[in-house]
Structure 1
C-alpha cells in the first residue's frame, strides 16, 4: 500500500523535471517558415534565432532599394577611413547631410539599436508619466538577453521603463513597453501578450517607413536576431537622427547611471552600456551625448552615437564591427565629423 503514494510522488517529480527541462534548455530546434533554426527560448511565436550558422536568414532579406533621395545623399566625395565595421555612416545631425559612408545600403541586423525605434513608437503613444505594471512578458525574452532586472508585478513609469531599456539595454523593458503600447493600439487592455507584441512591431515598421527607413523590417521590439528582420546603416541613421531630436530619448541616453524606484519601493540600479560616455572607460569621449549600443550574433557589435561639435551635432552609425572596433570606429568618425564641421563653419 505504501508503494502507490511513492509512485505518484515519483511521477509528479518526473513531470515537473521534464517541464522545467523543456523551458530551461536554451537551444531548441524548430521549423519556422520552412527554415530549421536554433532558438534561444522554448516559445517560437517570434522567429528569433540565437545561432545564425543554422539558418539561411539571407534568403528572407529582399534586395535593397536605393531611392533618388538616398542616391543623391550618398553621392559625396567619400574620405578614406579605415573601419572594422562592415557598414557605417556619418551624418550632420542638423542638416542630415552625409559626411561619410561605407556599405550604407547593404543589409545589416540592428540588434539593440532597434530600441531607439521602439522608444520613438512608445513616446508616440504614451505619456512618460503613465504607470505600467510589469506582467509575464518579462519571462518571454530569450535566455541570453540583456536584462534590466524587472520582475512581474513591478510598477513603474514609462520614463523609467525607457531608462531600463536604453541604458542597460533591457530586453525585459522592451517587451513590457511593447505589450503595454500594443494593447493600447489594439484598444484591448487584456489582449494576449504575443498579439500585443505583434501589433507593436507593426507600429515599429509603420514608424520606420515614415522616418524614411525604407530598407528595414523589424520583427522583435528589442532587436534580437529574427528571421526576416533587417535594416541598413542608412536607415538606422534616419532612426537615430529622429531619436536624437527627441528630448526624452536624448536626455536618457546621455545618462551614465541611474537608479529606478518602483512604486512598491524596490530600487534597481542601471548602468549605460555605452563606453563612450563612461568617464571611467578608456573609450570615454567628453563630446559624446548618446545614443545606443547593440550586440547579437548576426549583428556583431553596433553603436549609434551622437557627439557635439562647435558647429552642431554629428551622428555616427557603426554596424557589425568588432568588440573594440565599435568604439574606435565611432571615435574615428566623430573626430572626422568634428574636423569637417569646423572647416565648414
Structure 2
C-alpha cells in the first residue's frame, strides 16, 4: 500500500510499494491515460462483431452490443463506472488495436517512471506476466487527475448507458468508497479513482480524496483478510491518517520521476519506506512495525507507522465474478 500527496507527489507512507502484483482493473487507469487523449468524447461509433472478440470469461461488462452506436463518452463511462471490459475492447480497437494499445500503455508507464508495470491485457484481466505495484498505480492515479476528462469520469457515481432505440439503463460506480454499498460507507471528500478484482489479483484500489484544499492518493493491493470490504476500509484508514498527519510526516519518497533517485536499471526501481510521524496523534491507535528501504536508495531500515486499523463488520465478497476484473 501507499499514501501520497497528489499535488506534490510526496510519498507520506508505504509498505512493499514496489512489490509486483496482478493489478486487476486498476490497470484501466493506465489505459485511460494512454487512450483518452486520442479519442474525442463526441465521436460516434457503431460496434463491429470483431471488436468484442476475446473478452475474458467472467469479465465485468457494461453491455456493449454489436451493431449499436455509442459515443466515445458513453464507452468511457462504461469503463470507469462498470469496469466494462467490453467497452475497453472497443476503445482499444479505435486506438489501433489490442496489441498496439498494450504497447502504448507500456511506453506510457515507462515515460511516467512506472517501472514495475508490465502490460499484457489492457483491461486488467489476469494474464501471465501482467503486473503492477502500489507505487505505479498511485503514479497513474495522480497523473490521471490532471486530465479533466479522467477526473470527471472517475468521480461519476451514476450515469445511464445506451440500450438502443432511445432506451438507456442506469449504471453505478463499483468503487464502494465513492458510491457506497452494504458494509461500506462513502468516504467524505472522495473524488474517485478506480477499483478492481480478479481471482488472482484479489481486491485492488486506487483512490483519491480532497479535504481542506489538500488531495491525497492511496493504493491498496490484495488485502489478505477482512473480506471484500477490506480494500476499502484499509484505504479509508490510510486517507484518515494522511489528512490527520498533515505536515507532521517527513516524506519518504516521491511519485514524481523527476525527483526520484537515478536508477541504474529498469529492474530495480527506487523503493519507498514507511513514514514516521513527527508527533503521535491520539487517533492513531495501533503501531505496526514495517520494513522498507529509503526512497533515495539507502540501506534497508525498519520504521514504526501509527495507523488506525478499521475492519468492516460485513465481510462481503467482491461484487465482480471470480474470473474477471471489477
1:337 paired residue among 242, 250, 262? 242
Q: Secondary structure at 2:21's aligned position in 1?
A: coil
Max radius of gyration: which structure? Answer: 1
- Cα distance between partner residues in 2 of 1:121 and 1:295: 21
- Cα distance between partner residues in 2 of 1:154 and 1:290: 29
Contact 1:115/1:223, CA 8 A, preserved across alignment: yes
Structure 1's consecutive aligned runs of 4 or more residues displaced over 4 angstroms after TM superposition are none
Structure of higher RCO (CA pairs closer than 8 Å, 6+ residues apart):
2
Q: Which residue number corresponds to residue 201 of structure 1?
A: 102
Name the CA shift for 1:279/1:92 in 2 (closer, same or farther; >3 Å).
Answer: same
Q: Which residue number corresponds to residue 49 of structure 1?
A: none
Q: Secondary structure at 1:217's aligned position in 2?
A: coil
- Cα distance between partner residues in 2 of 1:295 and 1:280: 16
Q: So what's the TM-score if we normalise by structure 1?
A: 0.68
Q: Which residue number corresponds to residue 141 of structure 2?
A: 240
1:294 paired residue among 170, 178, 196? 196
Q: Counterparts in 2 of 1:4-153, with a 5 A limit?
A: 88-136=1-49, 137-153=51-67
Q: State the Cα distance separating 1:118 from its structure 2 match.
A: 1.0
Q: Which residue number corresponds to residue 207 of structure 2?
A: 305
Q: Which residue number corresponds to residue 251 of structure 1?
A: 152
Q: Which residue number corresponds to residue 115 of structure 2?
A: 214
Q: Deviations over 1:97-118 (max 9, x none)?
A: 0011010011111100011111
1:229 paired residue among 124, 130, 141? 130
Gaps of 5+ in 2: 250-326
Aligned pair count reads 244
Gaps of 5+ in 1: 1-87, 183-195
Contact 1:256/1:278, CA 8 A, preserved across alignment: yes
Q: Which residue number corresponds to residue 192 of structure 1?
A: none
What's the C-alpha RMSD, in Å, of the aligned pairs? 1.6
Q: So what's the TM-score if we normalise by structure 2?
A: 0.71
- Cα distance between partner residues in 2 of 1:255 and 1:123: 16
- Cα distance between partner residues in 2 of 1:139 and 1:149: 14
Contact 1:156/1:263, CA 8 A, preserved across alignment: no
Q: Secondary structure at 1:306's aligned position in 2?
A: strand
Q: Deviations over 1:218-276 (max 9, x none)?
A: 11111001012111111111111111221111111111110023675241321100111
